[in-house]
Amino acid sequence: MTKYVVLFRGINVGGNKIVKMETLRTILGVAGFENVRTYVQSGNVILTSDQTARRVAETITELFPRTFGFPSRVTIRTAAEWDQMIARNAYPQALDDPKSLHAVIMDDDPTDMALMELAKKANDTEEFTVRNRVLYLYTPEGFGTSKLAEALDKVLKVPLTSRNWRTVSTLQGMLSAI
């Protein structure tokens, strides 16, 4: 059995696209996934399966809109990929303030031109580094007010989802417990 992190994009944000985590856990269990756990209400799931990541994504992508009435793009990483993402953190100084560091997990690599355009959006305190389809985004003045964070989707033009470092670390702990 492989351990997976499954991240849903755009659910339970601002009172829109409401998904009850209990229902999500139930439908994933009925679909044959094991050890299904969720963390907070923003679509963070861990589970185990003997299926490939691609097949897990396909199953969830088919099942989700039938249950909730709208689609949600999923991003999947194995536990080993998650551990590697954490080990490659480019901003260890942010560990004392995990809300200042985000892992922007991308399904594809952005172009060099897109990364150059994104760099223009950063203020004097913000930084980012891309490693293995993860953009490590350091925003010490806050993610919610960051023009750099605001530009991610528009400029990078790749499927992505972001999680703050507290969530990233918590999910790692949940993976090690199953």
The pTM of this model reads 0.93
Write the CATH number for 124: 3.30.70
Per the structure, the complete domain to which residue 62 belongs is given by 2-81
**Could you tell me if 104 and 52 lie in one domain?**
no
Measured between alpha carbons, how far is residue 70 from residues 8, 11, 62, 64, 73 in Å?
Answer: 12, 10, 11, 7, 10
**Could you tell me if 50 and 102 lie in one domain?**
no
**Could you tell me if 97 and 77 lie in one domain?**
no
**CA gap 71, 73 in Å, rounded:** 7
Domain edge (last residue) among 32, 59, 81: 81
The predicted-structure confidence for 122-170, as pLDDT tens digits, reads as follows: 999 999 999 999 999 999 999 989 999 999 999 999 999 999 999 999 9
Q: Tell me the average pLDDT of the chain.
A: 94
Domain edge (last residue) among 30, 47, 81: 81
Whether residue 42 is contained in a domain is answered as yes
Whether residue 173 is contained in a domain is answered as no
Total number of domains in the chain: 2
Residue 23, pLDDT score? 95
Domain edge (last residue) among 65, 81, 97: 81
Question: Is residue 14 pLDDT above 80, yes or no?
Answer: no
Residue 158, pLDDT score? 96
Burial of residue 46 (CB within 10 Å: 0-12, 13-18, 19+) is buried
Whether residue 37 is contained in a domain is answered as yes
- Other Cβ atoms less than 10 A from the Cβ of 72: the count is 19
Average pLDDT over every residue of 105-110: 95
Q: Tell me the percentage of the chain whose pLDDT exceeds 70.
A: 98
Whether residue 174 is contained in a domain is answered as no
Residue 140, pLDDT score? 94
Whether residue 126 is contained in a domain is answered as yes
